[in-house]
């Protein structure tokens, strides 16, 4: 008799014409993905499994597909059975996590049936799921399309639709909690700037990395075309959210930064805004170029910064982070008129 494998709510259609394909009706939809959790870096995890009593669905994923950054569509993919592998096993008794994770291979329970994926395309969608005052949590959702399973007699079943294998989560420090706060932005040499001013007499400068950005509404008086004296930078205060650090559950675009309008409903924004602190700007005049134009390089630092992770105003309260003494945000260049 030909049987059907139900993964989640999907029905797999039998592709063989005869023989007895020994795959039982199983449902892993309500079962969480597990790992052995024995790696220093969870991003290096490649072995996943789902257990439902005496059944298990095992996935060996190609390495390098888990990243603590939001993914583009179709960016993180693998194939079965060449780069990754998937196995369905039925045991003669209930099986536990220890069976798969013990350093000494278990003798019991015994495998009574095993079916191996012979085809299928794996896609991983990664995005920020939650943000705290210390960490970002990423959800890595693993999906499989066009799955084919076969037994030892090469009898197979195939499903052309997409099934969700499960979601694995990892965490990483927020940029404000790096050993050197916001040091990940140092690799971005130049600020971008918004065309419109959102605070009178200011300019919005920003840098973005994947799913997050920092922005600063800097007073124009602090980036004047005049060199500062050593040890006497221009300064301004950071009350009322002049500095912002924002994390989104999607990839950041310039339009999302250069607006005060609400983002679309499907975008979740985790906003850290300055409640106090100071901007410090040291300006150096550069030698005139061939046309006689003089440029000024403004090194912008942030001092004694207090950031507040904004709550939703209902169930989640605002959280104030511990103070950040100082860090260099970057340099901005202007040209004398």
Check: CB of residue 70 under 8 Å from CB of residue 41.
Answer: no
Looking at residue 23, its pLDDT comes to: 54
Helices (H), the chain: 97-101, 254-257
Q: Are residue 112 and residue 229 in the same domain, yes or no?
A: no
Q: Is there a contact between 277 and 240 (Cβ–Cβ < 8 Å)?
A: no
Produce one character per residue of 252-262: b if its CB has 16 or more CB atoms within 10 Å, e if not. Answer: beeebbbeeee
What does the pLDDT profile of the chain (337 residues) look like in tens digits? 333 444 443 344 344 444 455 554 456 888 999 999 989 999 999 999 999 999 999 999 999 999 999 999 999 999 999 999 999 999 999 999 999 999 888 889 999 999 999 999 999 999 999 999 999 999 999 999 999 999 888 888 888 889 999 999 999 999 999 999 999 999 998 999 999 999 999 999 999 999 999 999 999 999 999 999 999 999 999 977 799 999 999 999 999 999 989 999 999 999 999 999 999 999 999 988 888 899 999 999 999 999 999 987 667 889 999 999 999 999 999 998 7
Q: Are residues 21 and 161 in the same domain?
A: yes
Helix (H) or strand (E) holding 191: none
CA triple 128-274-271, angle to 5 deg: 20
Q: Are residues 165 and 193 in the same domain?
A: no
Structural domain of 159: 6-173
pTM, full prediction: 0.89
Both 125 and 74 in a single domain?
A: yes
Whether residues 204 and 276 fall in one domain: yes
| 97 and 118 co-located in one domain | yes
77: Cβ contacts below 8 Å, ≥ 6 apart: 65, 121, 122, 123, 124
Are 298 and 185 in the same domain? yes
Same domain, 287 and 189: yes
Closest-CA residue to 193 (of 206, 212, 209, 180)? 206
Cα dist from 8 to 11, 78, 249, 269, whole Å: 9, 21, 25, 31
293 DSSP assignment: -
Q: How far apart are CA 144 and CA 165, in angstroms?
A: 7
- Residue 118 located in a structural domain: yes
Choose the final residue of a domain: 173, 202, 225.
173
Q: Is residue 231 part of a domain?
A: yes
Same domain, 158 and 193: no
- Asked which of 145, 173, 201 is the last residue of a domain, the reply is 173
Q: Are residues 137 and 222 in the same domain?
A: no
CA distance 91 to 54: 5
Domain count, the chain: 2
* pLDDT at residue 8, rounded to an integer: 40
- Whether 1 is in a domain gets the answer no
pLDDT at 151 (0 to 100): 87
Q: Same domain for 256 and 145?
A: no
Residues 10 and 117 in one domain: yes
Phi, psi of 238, deg, nearest 5: -115, 25
Domain boundary among 139, 173, 207: 173
The DSSP result for 37-101, as a single string, is ---SSGGG--EEEEEETTEEEEEEPPTT---SSPPPTT-EEEEETTTSEEEEEEESS---HHHHH
């Amino acid at each position: 008799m030909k049987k059907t494998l139900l993964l989640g709510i999907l029905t797999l259609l039998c592709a063989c014409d005869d023989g007895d394909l020994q795959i039982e009706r199983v449902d892993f939809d309500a079962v969480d993905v597990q790992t052995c959790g024995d790696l220093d870096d969870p991003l290096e995890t490649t072995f996943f499994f789902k257990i439902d009593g005496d059944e298990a669905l095992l996935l060996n994923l190609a390495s390098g597909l888990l990243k603590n950054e939001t993914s583009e569509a179709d960016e993180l993919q693998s194939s079965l059975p060449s780069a990754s592998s998937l196995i369905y096993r039925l045991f003669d008794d209930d099986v536990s996590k220890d069976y798969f994770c013990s350093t000494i291979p278990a003798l019991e329970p015994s495998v009574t049936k095993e079916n191996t994926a012979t085809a299928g395309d794996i896609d991983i969608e990664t995005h920020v799921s939650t943000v705290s005052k210390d960490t970002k949590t990423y959800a890595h959702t693993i999906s499989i399309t066009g799955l084919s399973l076969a037994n030892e007699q090469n009898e197979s079943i195939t499903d052309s639709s997409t099934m969700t294998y499960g979601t694995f989560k990892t965490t990483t420090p927020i940029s404000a909690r790096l050993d050197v706060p916001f040091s990940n932005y140092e690799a971005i040499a130049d600020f971008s700037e918004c065309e419109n001013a959102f605070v009178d007499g200011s300019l919005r400068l920003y840098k973005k990395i994947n799913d997050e950005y920092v922005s600063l509404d800097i007073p124009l008086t602090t980036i004047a075309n005049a060199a500062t004296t050593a040890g006497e930078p221009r300064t301004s205060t950071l009350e009322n959210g002049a500095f912002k650090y924002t994390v989104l559950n999607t990839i950041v675009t310039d339009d999302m930064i250069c607006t005060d309008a609400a983002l679309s409903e499907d975008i979740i924004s985790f906003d850290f805004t300055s409640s106090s602190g100071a901007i410090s700007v040291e300006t150096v005049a550069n030698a005139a170029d061939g046309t006689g134009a003089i440029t000024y390089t403004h090194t912008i630092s942030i001092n004694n910064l207090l950031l507040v992770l904004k709550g939703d105003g209902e169930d989640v309260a605002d959280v104030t982070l511990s103070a950040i003494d100082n860090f260099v945000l970057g340099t901005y260049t202007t040209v004398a008129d």
